A and B are shown apart, each in its own frame.
Chain A
Amino acid sequence: MGPETNILEMRGITKAFPGVIANEGIDLDVRYGEVHTLLGENGAGKSTLVKILFGLYQADEGSILLRGEPIAVGSPSEAIASKIGMIHQHFMLVPTLTVAENVALGTASTRRPFTDLDVVSRRVSEISEEHGLAVDPSVEVRRLAVGERQRVEIIKALYRDAELLVLDEPTAVLTPGEVDDLFVILRRMADAGRGLIFISHKLREVMSLSDRITILRNGKVVGTTTPDETSREELAQMMVGRAVRLTPEKPDMDVGPARLEVESLTIHGDRETVAVNDISFEVRSGEILGIAGVSGNGQRELAEAIAGLRVGEPGGSIRLDGVEVTDKDTRSRRDRGLGFIPEERMRDGAIAEFTVSENMVLVDHASRQFTSRGMLAFDAIRRHSRKLVDDFAVKTPGIETPTSSLSGGNIQKVILARELSASPTVLLACQPTRGVDIGAAEYIHTRLIEQRNLGTATILISEDLDEVMGLADRIAVMYEGEIVAVLPAEGATREGIGLLMAGVVEPTAQTVG
C-alpha cells in the first residue's frame, strides 16, 4: 500500500482532556474510493478523532497526511479549504434560511459584498441532478423533512468539492428506506474516487456499507477488518471487549390476563393535528408488545397518554388491570402498577443535578418506606440506593454522585432500577437503549426479558427494529398515528415490517391481533 492509494493518513493521534485520554496513538488511513467505518461505543474516541481531522480540536500528538502531504488543520475553514467535508450527527443547518443560503454560507461570493444565490442555486441543481439528491434550492430548510435535510448537508459538502467526507452517525434519524437510499448515494460518491469515513454503531449498517472497518475502544484502535472477514458478533466483541449476545435469550411464556387495555384512543399532537388516530390494543401479563415505527408516527404521544402526561380525546379509554385510568394523573397510574421508562431520559426520567440516590427515590421519596415523621429517612434511602446500584450493575463512583456525570447507559440503568424495583404490573419502555452502549443495552434487554418472565406486561416502543424483533412477542407497527398491523414476532421479517413502517401495507403479512 503506497501512500498514493491513501487520501488520508492519521498517524499516532493522541488527545487528552482533563481526566480522560480520548485518543491514544490512533492510526487511521482512508483510501481513495473506499467507505471506511469507524466503529466504537460512546466515548471510544470516534468523535474526537474526526473533530481533530476537521479542525474543531487540536491533537496533542500525531500527524495528519492528506493526499500524501502533511497538513495542520487549525479550524473548520482550513479543513473545508483542504476539501474535507463533514456531515454532523446533528444537522448543521440554519432552519430559517433557504437551501441555497445554507449552501452559500461561509463560501466566497462572485459578487462581493453581495450574495450570488442564483449562481449557488444553479450549482445546487446540478449537484442534485448528478448525485440523485433531489431538493429545491429556494425552499426554507425548516419546511424540509429529515431525509431532505440530510441531502442538503451532503450537497453542502459536495458544493465545497469535498474529496474526503466524514459522516457522523448519518442514519440515526432516517427510516429504513431512507437509509437504503443514502447508502446508494454514498456508494456512488465513493466509486467516484472520494474517501468516506462512516461513523456508526449500528452493526447491520456497518456490515452492509463498509469496505473496511476500524474498531476503537477506550481511545485506542482495536483492529481493522473487512465485512468479509468478520461478523456482527465479532465486531460487537471487539467494541465491548468481551463476548456480547446480540439477540437476547427468551424462553416461551404463557401469557396471562390483559394488564393494559387501550380502546379507541385518539390523541392530538403539539400542533393540533391528530397524532394518534382511534387505536385499540391490549398487552397481557408475561408478554412484550413491541411498537415499531419511524419516529414521529404517534409513538411519543401514545406513550405520553399511557403515562398520563398527555390527555386523549373524549371517548377513548385506557385501563390498567381492568381499572379505568383515562382521567387519572400519573401518580394514581403508578399506584396501579405502571412503570415508565421515558424516551427523553434526561428530561423526563431523571434530574441531572440530583445524586444517583435522589434519582433512585424520585418516585417513592414520600412513601412510608423512605420517610419518618415527614422528614426524609436518609439511612433507608441510602440502603435502598446502594442495593439497586449493586443489583443493576450501575457504574458510579458512589450513590452521592451527581447523575449528570454518569454515562448514558448508566443513567438508563438508574432509571431502570427505580422503575423495576417497584415491581410494575405494566411497564412502558420507550427507546430504552437509544444512545446506550452495546454492553449496557445487552444488560437492559436481559432485565426487560426477566421482568416479562415475572409476568409484567411490557410495552416496548422503539425505533430500533432489531431491538423490537429481538425482544417482542408481538409487534405492532405504527404509521401516521394508526396501528397498521399487529404480527407475531415469530416469522416476522425485517423487510415486511420495514414496508409497513413506510406505510406500504402488504395484505398477506397482516394479521389483526
Chain B
Amino acid sequence: MGDFFTLSVLVATAASAIRLATPYLLASLGETIGQRSGVLNLGVDGVMLLSAFFSYWTVLGTGNLWLAVLVGLVVGLAMGVLYGVITVRLSATQGISGIGIFIFGLGLSDLLFRQLVGTPKPVRRLPNVDVPILSDIPHLGEALFQRNLLTYLAFLLVPATALLLSRTTFGLNIRSVGENPQAADSLGVSVERTRFVAILIGNAMAGLAGAALVLQLGIFQPNLTQGLGFIAVALVYFGAWRPVGVMGGALLYGLVNATVLQWKALGIIPVSGSDLANMAPAVLTILALIVLARRVHAPAALTKPFTRH
C-alpha cells in the first residue's frame, strides 16, 4: 500500500484518471444535452463502438489521427440522424429504440472489424500536448496539462455545455422542450427541431467519445467499450443533469478505474481478486445513484414523445 502513496505514483494515477475520464465525459455531456431536451438515448454505447471502429480503421488506413477524430464525429452525427428520425420524427418509444441502436452498433462494429481488419493491430495513439507554462507547474502540470487534445476539448466542453444550456436562447429552448413541450410549442418553439438538434449534438459527442477511447488505447477489439456508454448514461443521472456534476462523476469514475489499474500493477490487489476489483466502478455507480437519486429532479418530459393534442 505504501508504494501507492509516493508522489510519482499519485501523479501518474491522477494523469491516468483524467485520461480514462475523457470518453465518459464526452459521452455524458452529449447525453446531458439530449436528456435536457427530453430524449433518453440508451444507444450511446453502440454509437461509441461504431465511431471507435471507424476511427480506428481510418488511422489504420491513413495514419491520420485528426481525420480519424473527424470520422468518429461524422459517424456519431449519422447515428444521431438515425436516432432522431426514429424517436422524434416517428415518435418511437425511446427506451427500446436506444437498446436497438446499441445492439446495431455492437453487431455492426463487430462484423466490420472481422471483415475489414480481422486481428487487432496497434495504431498510433493521440499524442500528449504540453500546455505552455501550465505544464511546467511541478506535479500538477504533469497530471493535468500534459494530456491529449481530445481530453482538453472534453474538459473545455464542460463550461461550454453549461453556457449553452443556461445562457443561450437555444439552451432555453432545450430546457423548455425537456420540461413542458406543450408550453414551448404554444410559444412557437419547434419541439421537433430542438430535440433533433439536441440529439445530433449528443450523438456527435458520443462519436467523439468513441474516437477518444480508441485513439487513447491505440487498438480496437470487438465490444471495446464494455458498457462504457451505459455508464455514461448513468453519469448524467449522477450529475443531476448538470455539466459540472457530470464532470464530477466522470472524474470519480476515471479515478476509481485508474486506482484499480495502479493497485493491480503494484500488486496491492492480488491477481485472484482482479475480476472482483474490476467491479468497483459499477458498484460505485449503483451506490451513488441510490444516494443521489432521491434529491434530483429529472426533466419532466424525459422519454415522452411529443404530439400535439
Q: Which residues of A contact B (CB under 8 A)?
A: 56, 75-78, 80, 86, 88, 90-97, 101-102, 104-107, 109, 112-115, 156
Contact = CB atoms under 8 A, between A and B. Distances in A.
Nearest to B308: A56
A114 B297 contact: no
Contact of B172 (A90, A91, A115): A115
B169 A97 contact: no
A92 B175 contact: no
Given A76-B185, A76-B188, A105 B297 contact: no
Contacts, number: 70
B135 interface: no
Given A113-B168, A113-B169, A115-B169, A93 B183 contact: yes
Interface of B: 167-173, 175-176, 179-180, 182-189, 297, 300, 308
B180 A114 contact: no
Contact of A93 (B171, B180, B189, B308): B180
Given A56-B308, A97-B179, A106-B187, 5 more contacts: A76-B185, A93-B183, A105-B173, A105-B176, A115-B169
Those 3 A-B pairs whose CB atoms lie nearest each other, nearest first: A77-B188, A106-B187, A92-B183
A94 B186 contact: no
B188 A109 contact: no
6 contacts: A92-B187, A105-B183, A105-B187, A109-B169, A114-B168, A115-B168
A94 B170 CA distance: 15
Contacts of A92: 180, 182-183, 186-187
Q: Which of A75, A94, A97 has the most CB of B within 10 A?
A: A94
A75 B169 contact: no
A101 B168 CA distance: 11
A94 B183 contact: yes
A107 B173 CA distance: 10
Contact of A97 (B175, B182, B186, B297): B175
Contacts of B179: 94-97
Contacts of A95: 179-180, 300
A105 B189 contact: yes
Given A93-B183, A95-B179, A113 B188 contact: no
Contacts of B182: 90, 92
Contacts of A105: 172-173, 176, 183-184, 187, 189
A94 B301 CA distance: 11
A92 B185 CA distance: 9
Nearest to B175: A97
A113 to B, nearest CB: 5
A86 B172 contact: no
B189 to A, nearest CB: 5
Nearest to A113: B168
Contacts of B187: 76-77, 80, 92, 105-107, 156
Contacts of A104: 169, 172
Contacts of B186: 76, 86, 88, 92
Nearest to A75: B188
Nearest to A160: B187
B278 to A, nearest CB: 38
A94 B169 contact: no
A355 to B, nearest CB: 25
Query: Which applies to chain A's interface (DSSP): helix, strand, loop or mixed?
Result: loop
Nearest to A111: B169
A335 to B, nearest CB: 39
A156 B187 CA distance: 9
A509 to B, nearest CB: 42
Nearest to B181: A94
B225 to A, nearest CB: 33
A20 B8 CA distance: 78
A11 to B, nearest CB: 25
A78 B188 CA distance: 8
A104 B187 CA distance: 10
Contacts of B189: 105-106
A47 B170 CA distance: 31
A91 B180 CA distance: 10
B36 to A, nearest CB: 10
Nearest to B182: A92
Nearest to B163: A114
A96 B168 contact: no
Contacts of A156: 187
A404 B168 CA distance: 43
A94 B300 CA distance: 10
A328 B27 CA distance: 53
A92 B184 CA distance: 8
A76 B181 CA distance: 13
Nearest to A54: B186
B167 A115 contact: yes
Contacts of B300: 95-96
A372 to B, nearest CB: 42
A97 B171 CA distance: 12
Nearest to B179: A94
A112 B169 contact: yes
A97 B188 contact: no
A94 B177 CA distance: 9
Contacts of B308: 56
A80 B186 CA distance: 9
A470 to B, nearest CB: 33
Nearest to B180: A94
Contacts of B180: 92-95
A76 B300 CA distance: 23
Given A94-B179, A96-B179, A113 B170 contact: yes
A127 to B, nearest CB: 16
Contacts of A78: 188
Nearest to A104: B172
B294 to A, nearest CB: 15
Contacts of A113: 168-170
A331 B179 CA distance: 39
B172 A97 contact: yes
A115 B166 CA distance: 9
Contacts of B168: 113-115
Contacts of B175: 94, 96-97
B176 A94 contact: yes
Contacts of A97: 172, 175-176, 179
Q: Which one of B179, B184, B188, B297 has the highest number of Cβ atoms from chain A below 10 Å of its Cβ?
A: B188
A114 B183 CA distance: 21
A114 B297 CA distance: 25
A378 B167 CA distance: 63
A93 B182 CA distance: 9
A88 B184 CA distance: 13
Nearest to A109: B169
A88 B173 CA distance: 20
